[in-house]
Structure 1
Amino acid sequence: MDPSTGDVVGMLKARRQGGGGLGVLLAALRGFGPEYQRMITEHDRWHGTRPLQVTTTTWTREQQLMVPAANSRFHSDGWTPQDRRTALHLLAELPHPENSATVAELVLKAMDGQPALPGPTGNTPALLTWRDGHGLLGESTVPRPAALHLRYLWLVAQHLRACSGAEALLDWIDQRAQSLDDLGLLRRLQGRTVRPRAAHPAEAPAPQPCWTSGAAVLIGVSSYTHLPDVPSIRNNLDDLAALLTAPEFGIPEDRVKVIADPANDMEIHDVIEDLVEQVDPSHGAFLLYYAGHGRSHPENGRLLLSLTGSRQHRAHSYWAFDKIRDHISECGLPIRLVLLDSCYSGSALDTLSGLTDSSIAIRGTYVMTSSGPTEPSAVTAGRNTAFTAGLLTVLRDGVATAGPVLDAETVYEAIRTYCANRNLPHPDRQIRYDGDRIPLMPNRAHHPQESR
């Protein structure tokens, strides 16, 4: 199947030993990683656009005809083939999960802590798409109720609620939940599934003024001439740009610049210079994000960041972080946030000193790195690299124990917990002039008690 169009362009034939037959288990296809993700997404998108009522035979229609009361749009508490088709189509419109652990975690929550499959968890195949989690719920000798599937879909939508596709999924979940015949089950489901509606648009949390008057540069190197490619870094740039320009974060789109696969550092510094001039010098914030291969300088231990043409043992072919330090220190802006997702990124710490004039360093600088100075950073097989997946998860989901606004230090501590729970390298950070208090965005997990 062509990943970009969904067209079938070839056929794979496999003969199973003992018993014959043609076919390939879907779980086996997951070994293709990103190609499987793209193929199965286009598959579900295509099928989701086909008419439900057709005169010709389709697999979904034939399955649906075997369901009692199949002529009704929804079949009460049972999960029908049409339900599955619609759910998979809506899931295909969402970004891929950051890793298998996230999908497994949401399945476990939907099951109220009960394992979806009997036996050791290590027997579960890799879960590369939200569809795989949905399929895991179907692995049972007893048909599971619609409520269980809706809980899982709701958890996915909440996990990705900054994405436009999540809104359509939530709308369908609300509609499908209303058809349940068991009122007790409906009430329990609604307690977890039907989303809260804002009382008035004016009550929506507002973005921080420092970001509505600020700017961001997102740099990522996913394709290399001499080093291994990291395709997920392209997704990092897309997802982070979408989050920063969302209404809750509030950076204007024309002040978020994405630099993908830069060949030299001068083009990066030119973009930084242009953006800095557009930031309000009194209270505007500036964010710089980098993702790519990194290494320490063999002589002084300073951090070196890769460009598309960097070579493994040629320090001169890299971009020295000291140049970023000098540029950001001299820009004169009061709020500066640096996020580095690269191996040995902790080598950057203790180098970004900034200006010492108190009128300039009002709130200061915060540097967050994906690993320590002597550690590599993990690269996942999912949509994003590990550190950026944690960053996006914390910003999207919020922190239940924090206040109404997430600041830099709260986000850092939450990412540390995220990484520790998944045995990933521990991130690190450096604070200058109260940089830990830099506000980022409203905390989506903060729910103040309503007045009685």
Structure 2
Amino acid sequence: MSVLPDPGASRAVLIGTSRYDHLEQLPAVTNNLIDLADTLSGPLSLRMPAPHVTVVENPPEPATVMEPLRQAAEEAIDTLIVYYAGHGLIDPHDALTLALPHTQPDRVETCLNYDWLRRILLGSRAERHIVLLDCCYSGLALGRMSASQGLADQAAVEGTFLLAASAETRTALAPVGDTHTAFTGALLDTLRHGIPGGSPLLDLEAIYQHLRRTLEARGHPVPQARNRNSGAQVALARNHADLPAAPVTTAASTEPDRRPWPDPASIRTVTGFFTNLAAVREASGLTQQEVSRRSAGRISVASISRLVNRDTLPATWATTAAYLSACGVPDDQISQWKGSWHQLHQAAAVTQQARAEAPRGETAKPTTPRRRLSNLWRRPGH
């Protein structure tokens, strides 16, 4: 089953190189970083808090990349997203390297070795990893390409879904005059507009298949993908081409409820609670005014707006229950929502107690519920 990550327990690090001393310039990469960061933080994708999305543009040396990667890997509990756009090179030992502004193709020490990034992912606290590589081998600059392995094989990491642009030439990677590189432009279009006739959630398998068809039709190299431990089921957005045009009804029906309701079992943080709460109304097809009317006066339009835009849990359950019921959420799911609300309150109480008991000058780390989602991400041997 496809699942959206909890944005409060997830992190993204977006790395891009647009300026080079010794390789062709890629000015579109700047737009890639800006627009992908905005999309991940916005309502068309995961609604990640802006501080959870780190952009590293034109890093002067590998250490400039490694430090934010380590921090994100430590902070992410649910999902860690790593994106790179720029020139990708294969060194004389068939290892993938990512080009930085001062990279010289014949000097491996001037590149970011992908294996360093891979080791951080393997040691991450996150249960899931998504790697997006929008890069080429830059065969002209390097003078050789690996004959045995593709980019995706070079970069595969256990517990990760890897999506890689398989561009073999620089012009295919960044068509002249386009706002974005070919791969990232198609990815952004998919997240923003959805896939007509697709599933309610845009999981990585659906995104990959759609990008493959789209880029092939445009004459661009098709992407590659590698899936480890059910990573294909992780979603990056709701399918905006499939959102309901009509609201739910209260009339009895023998048809099963197929609305793309957010899964309360995926909630780990307060941020995730309110992100999913806002998504409930989108799934219902109702406006705030319609939700208020359907609540029979129990919750006003102003109360709905305050509820989905607050950053602390409601002290009582009644308003949230009225909102969910008015949106048409099934009773069994409302019970699950209440369970998540209780669990988050308990976690907050534990954190508050730990802070009160911590020695002066020390700060207790907040407690985050760490529920595994459908056991999709068990590591080998666990």
Which runs of structure 2 are paired with 1:1-400 in the superposition (5 Å)? 208-248=4-44, 249-279=46-76, 281=77, 284-298=78-92, 300-344=93-137, 346-349=150-153, 351-354=155-158, 364-371=159-166, 377-380=172-175, 381-400=177-196
Q: Would the alpha carbon gap of residues 246 and 351 (structure 1) be closer, same or farther in structure 2, given more than 3 Å must change?
A: closer
Q: Distance in 1 between matches of 2:30 and 2:154?
A: 29
Query: 381, 398, 418: which one pairs with 2:214?
Result: 418
Are residues 387 and 326 of structure 1, via their aligned partners in 2, closer, same or farther at CA, if it must alter by over 3 Å? same
1:427 CA drift (Å): 0.5
Identity of aligned residues (%): 31
Q: 1:348 to 1:412 in 2, by over 3 A?
A: closer
Larger deviation: 245-254 or 416-425?
245-254
Larger Rg: 1
Superposed CA offset, 1:147-194 (max 9, x none):
xxxxxxxxxxxxxxxxxxxxxxxxxxxxxxxxxxxxxxxxxxxxxxxx
**1:229–1:394 Cα change, 3 Å:** same
- Aligned-partner residue type, residue 91 of structure 2: H
Please give the alpha-carbon distance, in whole angstroms, between the structure 1 residues aligned to 2:166 and 2:200. 28
Q: How many residues align?
A: 232
Determine helix, strand or coil for the equivalent of 2:6.
helix
**1:406 counterpart = 2:210:** no
**TM score, norm. by length of structure 1:** 0.49
Structure 1 residue 436: Cα displacement: 0.5
Residues 226, 344 of structure 1: alpha-carbon distance in 2 compared, 3 angstrom cutoff: closer
| C-alpha contact 1:335 1:435 (8 A) present in aligned 2 | yes
CA distance in 2, matches of 1:314, 1:352: 24
In 2, the alpha carbon distance for the partners of 1:365 and 1:313 equals: 30
Aligned equivalents of 2:64, 2:27: Cα separation in 1: 22
- Asked if structure 1 preserves the Cα contact closer than 8 Å seen for 2:18 and 2:27, the reply is yes
User: Residue 307 of structure 1 aligns to which amino acid in structure 2?
Assistant: L
- Aligned residues of 1:375 and 1:425 also touching (Cα < 8 A): no
SS in 1 for 2:19: coil
Conserved? CA contact 1:329–1:352, under 8 Å: no
Superposition TM-score, scaled by structure 2 size: 0.57
> Which runs of 5 or more structure 1 residues have no equivalent in the other structure?
1-206, 355-363
Unaligned runs of 5+ in 2: 139-149, 250-382
Please name the residue that 1:123 is paired with: none
Letter in 2 for 1:260: E
Structure-1 separation of matches of 2:180 and 2:212: 17
SS of alignment partner, residue 414 of structure 1? helix
Task: Report how far residue 227 of structure 1 moved.
Answer: 1.6
Distance in 1 between residues matched to 2:198 and 2:178, nearest whole Å: 28
Which residue does the alignment assign to 1:110?
none
CA contact (8 A) 2:15 2:33 kept: yes
Q: What amino acid is aligned across from residue 368 of structure 1 in structure 2?
A: L
The amino acid of 2:27's aligned partner reads: P
Structure 2 Cα separation of the partners of residues 419 and 227 of structure 1:
25
Name 2:274's counterpart in structure 1: none
Cα deviation for residue 388 of structure 1 reads 0.5
Equivalents in 2 of 1:435, 1:323: separation in Å? Answer: 21
Cα gap change, 1:448/1:223 in structure 2, threshold over 3 Å: closer, same or farther? Answer: same
User: One-letter code of the match for 1:352?
Assistant: A
